[in-house]
Amino acid sequence: MRAGVARAPTRRVSPSTAAWIGLAVLLAAAAVLLVSLTRDTTLWRDEWTWALYRRGNTAGTFLEPHYGHLSLVPIALYRLLFATAGLDHYLPYRLLVIGAHLGCATLVFLYARRRVGAPLALVPAALLTFFGPTAQNFIWPFQVGWLISLGAGVAALLMLDRRDRLGDIAASALLAVSLGSSALGIPIALGLAVDVLWGRRNWRHAWIVGAPLVLYGLWWIRYQTNETERWGHDVYLTPSWVFSAPADALSSLVGLGGGATIDGPQSALTWGAPLGLIALAAIVWRLTRLREIPPRVLTLITIPVAFWVLTALGRAFFGAPSSGRYVYVGGLFILLLAAELARGLSVQRRTALLVAVVTAAAVLSNVSSLRDAAHVLRLQGSLTRAELGTLEIARPLVDPGYVSEGFLFDEIVAGPYFAARDELGSPAATPAEIAADPEPIRASADSQLVHIHGLSLQPSSGAVALGARPVLDSASSGTTTEHGACLSFEPAAFAPAAAPVALQVTVPPAGILVRAEGGAATVAIRRFAAAYPAQPLGTVHASGAATLHIGTDGAPQSWHVRVTPTERATVCGLG
């Protein structure tokens, strides 16, 4: 019976095809996740420097260094985005960085596939794709410059593998792109120099690295400024920095970097130290078993070590080796080195399964870090939009030289911002959107508006014209009396701790007069926030009086004042 039944032919999917399908699924899932997590983000920090000051058409606009980096390629991309998407829509910027990140992951897959086979190559690709502790590099579009440098570097290594004329030309061009995207191109150039000179032992091939380096050298002579003035104490910090950086990257790769923020893993060295020592022992063990150290291994050691040394020399005074953007670079090259060292090793099915489980656990752990980092970036987006919104609200009042609050490096100056905004649009929040933001953001908006309006208590000169009586918001531990344009407040004999003495009013359009009798009265002000700030606007001393004038602006929301008197106080609306 059995023999008589013809078995239908089964079509097996080859491991290689399955791995490609797996990679596609991985990348698609990552793309969806990253687009979702970066919702509501907007231009942040250095991006504003480019939006405000890199809009000209001179060579300097494209070639001036950005913190020492030649950023020709990313600036050109941003210029393209400014011209097409403007500043209103951030999605194209997000797609750019996500695309660059997934491109790097694909290149790592391609590189590893040629060393350890397609199924195992999925491991480094998955680890890099969901490298959550380093999220800054792939959820913040500004870091696209670094990703292009890295992607071009990995692609150049793949091109050099071809060992033909076309491959060499492409590698040289890709190195130029890498150098033109960020200073990461320098360690990559050093690595490629080792690869070409050590691997080929033929000076005729030096042009592959030499040509792009000559171009970079020309740029350096013409545009670079001295970035080495801080090398003093950094020299001493460099060795331990360089030793800790790979440890941080290792623990982060396997999901043991601890909690992470947008700046990177928080306790990467806890697991990184033992993992680093084990990895060092494993590398030494592997190298002793290789009759001769392959040039590519040296290349892949040279690139990250050069990156760490150069970074430590320039940044050790303020940037920890566990900064996410540095860990990403280290992690990528550790993955490439692992693939290179694993070349020729046979992996049993059971070991492969174990590796897959560990990879899945690492990815799961790192997705959590990714979500945390994205949350921080979304909050920064809300804050940025609200601060810009306040500039829009008070545009007629803002001095062109006014430096916006809420930006770490004072990136937003009112004049250049309005110029960029008029040309490219703005992600600024409307008053209604600010009102719907969380309380800390509304408090920040209030703080900025108080400064822009220049709100302060002013002398009450003689008889002032009174107008509409302020609307009473609340009065606690005291009684209020309305008379004419004024509200008088008399504190109660005692005040419970839960209801301190205070009078809260909505400020009429023309402002208010505050008079203190018998004791001082402290005045605080708010607009979008629900609570008054800790810092009062001022104090009216006993028997003193002061006025508060508030100019009109573009928001319909009223201002509110809280008066906290030690004795009696009167608040009148100005005419």
Judged by beta carbon, residue 474 or residue 543, the one nearer other proteins is: 543
Half-sphere exposure in the Cβ direction for 299 (13 Å, CA): 24
In the complex with other proteins, the residue whose CB is nearer, 467 or 544, is 544
Give the Å distances, CA to CA, from 154 to 107, 222, 305, 332: 7, 28, 16, 9
Query: Which residue lies nearer to other proteins by CB, 337 or 546?
Result: 546
CB of residue 133 vs other proteins: minimum separation in angstroms?
16
d(CA 430, CA 325): 33
Cα(17)–Cα(339) distance, rounded to whole angstroms? 20
Smallest separation (angstroms) from other proteins to the CB of 534: 9
Least distance in angstroms from the C-beta of 232 to other proteins: 10
Q: Which is closer to other proteins, CB of 276 or CB of 381? A: 276
Closer by beta carbon to other proteins, 139 or else 242 = 242
Q: Which long-range contacts (CB under 8 A, 24 or more apart) does 416-420 make?
A: 416/52, 416/53, 417/48, 417/52, 417/388, 417/391, 418/391, 419/52, 420/51, 420/52, 420/55, 420/87
Tokens of 444: 């920040």
- Count Cβ atoms within 10 A of the Cβ of residue 302 and give its class: 0-12 exposed, 13-18 middle, 19 or more buried: buried
Q: How far is the CB of 249 from other proteins (least distance, A)?
A: 14
**Shortest Å, Cβ 454 to other proteins:** 11
Pick 28 or 235: Cβ nearer other proteins: 235
Determine the 3-state secondary structure of 333 from DSSP: helix
| Secondary structure of 107-175 in HEC code, one letter for each residue | HHHHHHHHHHCHHHHHHHHHHHHCCHHHCHHHHCHHHHHHHHHHHHHHHHHHHHHHCCHHHHHHHHHHH
Distance CA 105, CA 88 (A): 29
Shorter beta-carbon distance to other proteins: residue 291 or 349: 291
Other Cβ atoms less than 10 A from the Cβ of 230: the count is: 14
Closest CA to 170 of 185, 153, 182, 186: 153
Which is it for strands 502-506 and 471-476: parallel, antiparallel or unpaired?
antiparallel
Residue 291 CB, shortest distance to other proteins, in Å, is 15
Q: Which is nearer to other proteins, 116 or 546 (CB)?
A: 546
Q: Which residues bind other proteins (CB under 8 A)?
A: 233, 235-240, 242-244, 269-270, 272-274, 276-277, 456-457, 459-460, 514, 520, 535-546
Question: Which one, 61 or 539, has the nearer CB to other proteins?
Answer: 539
Least distance between other proteins and beta carbon 286 (Å): 16
What are 413's strand-pairing partners? 403
Please count the other Cβ atoms lying within 10 Å of the Cβ belonging to residue 484.
9
State in angstroms the smallest separation of the CB of 459 from other proteins: 7
Shortest Å, Cβ 312 to other proteins: 11
